[in-house]
Amino acid sequence: MPMPWHDADVTIENDTFHYLRTGDGQKPPLLLLHGFSDNGRCWQRLAQDLQATHDVIMPDSRGHGRSPRIQPSTPLDNAADAAAIINALGLEKPIVAGHSMGGLTATELGARYPNLARALILEDPAWIDPPATPEPPQENPFYAWLKQMDALPLPELIAFGQASNPTWPEDEFPAWATAKQQLDKTILGALHMGKPWRDFVAALTIPTLLITAEPEQGAIITPALAEEAATRCAHLQVAHVPNAGHNIRRENYPVYLQAITAFLATIH
């Protein structure tokens, strides 16, 4: 980890959230929200490239990394958690970026807390329609995937990740594998990826960059969904990254970074 990054905690009411931070508040804040089963450290490559211009904050979401475990009696509300982290750290109008689950969280944050963020960057957000009936955790598509990795020691888990994702850079896998081990598996009973994302998009009033990729390679956002989102929100622009699937920044990082830096240059 490049110095002088901070590896720290912030306490919100009775919960302590872990985060990494590249700066000390002297540069514009950029809050990065990771995807399901990742952690804040999974943003390290992007943070390294943006730390010269931004104070990059990378929290572990609830149930992930070293942040609070899932409590059966407490509903999971990632957008409220992100808002609380922004307020607790005193971040002044941060740009908020998110991938997958984090992209959905960022979308919801922008809709529910319109005065907190300056702009949004959404990397293939989990804009998934709610199921007609709730599914038990064992029927969650992530359940079997996580179970097969659960008993693997870290070196074998890294090897599993490398075999499953041969095009990813080698330095992605230590953080990716560690995050899988840290994940609170009870989150599968509390996480509801399906949310009224169309309502959230329509409510956005700040500049928003939607980064899309190839559905044939596993991306969630199809061209039709991207077009629909753009019609619902006049503040939204779309950047398509070819030759990448759901993990856009891990599969075509140069084009991904170019789209982000071009967007950031327009935000003041």
Residue 212: both structure tokens together: 């899309």
Tell me the CA distances in angstroms from 63 to 93, 108, 122, 148, 184, one per residue in order. 26, 19, 21, 19, 5
Question: What are the DSSP calls for 55-122, one per residue?
Answer: EEEEEPPTTSTTSPPPPTTS---HHHHHHHHHHHTT--S-EEEEETHHHHHHHHHHHH-TTT-SEEEE
Which residues does 45 contact at the CB level (< 8 Å), separation at least 6?
Answer: 169, 171, 172, 249, 253
Radius of gyration for the alpha carbons in the chain, expressed in angstroms and rounded? 17
What are the residue boundaries of the structural domains of the chain, listed by start?
Answer: 6-134+192-264
- In the predicted model, is pLDDT for residue 133 greater than 90? no
Q: How confident is the model at residue 108 (pLDDT cuts 50, 70, 90)?
A: very high
Q: How confident is the model at residue 3 (pLDDT cuts 50, 70, 90)?
A: low
The predicted model gives 177-202 an average pLDDT of 89
Phi-psi domain of 188 (left: phi exceeds 0; alpha: psi -120 through 50; beta: other): alpha
Q: How confident is the model at residue 191 (pLDDT cuts 50, 70, 90)?
A: confident
The predicted model gives 211-233 an average pLDDT of 98
Tell me the CA distances in angstroms from 209 to 53, 57, 122, one per residue in order. 18, 19, 6
236 three-state secondary structure:
strand
Report pLDDT digits (tens) over 52-105. Answer: 999 999 999 999 999 999 988 788 999 999 999 999 999 999 999 999 999 999
Report pLDDT digits (tens) over 138-147. Answer: 666 777 788 7
For residues 165 and 216, what is the distance between their CA atoms, to the nearest angstrom?
Answer: 15
Q: Assess contact for 71 and 77: CB atoms under 8 A.
A: no
pLDDT on residue 130? 80
pLDDT on residue 139? 67
Output the pTM of the full model. Answer: 0.96
- In the predicted model, is pLDDT for residue 224 greater than 70? yes
The predicted model gives 160-185 an average pLDDT of 95
- The class that CATH gives domain 6-134+192-264 is alpha beta
Q: How confident is the model at residue 148 (pLDDT cuts 50, 70, 90)?
A: confident
Closest CA to 61 of 43, 38, 42: 38
The torsion defined by the Cα of 195, 92, 38 and 232, in degrees rounded to 10, comes to 30
Cβ neighbours around 217 below 10 Å, total? 16
Note the Cα 188 to chain centre separation in Å. 17
Closest CA to 79 of 107, 52, 37: 107
- In the predicted model, is pLDDT for residue 177 greater than 80? yes
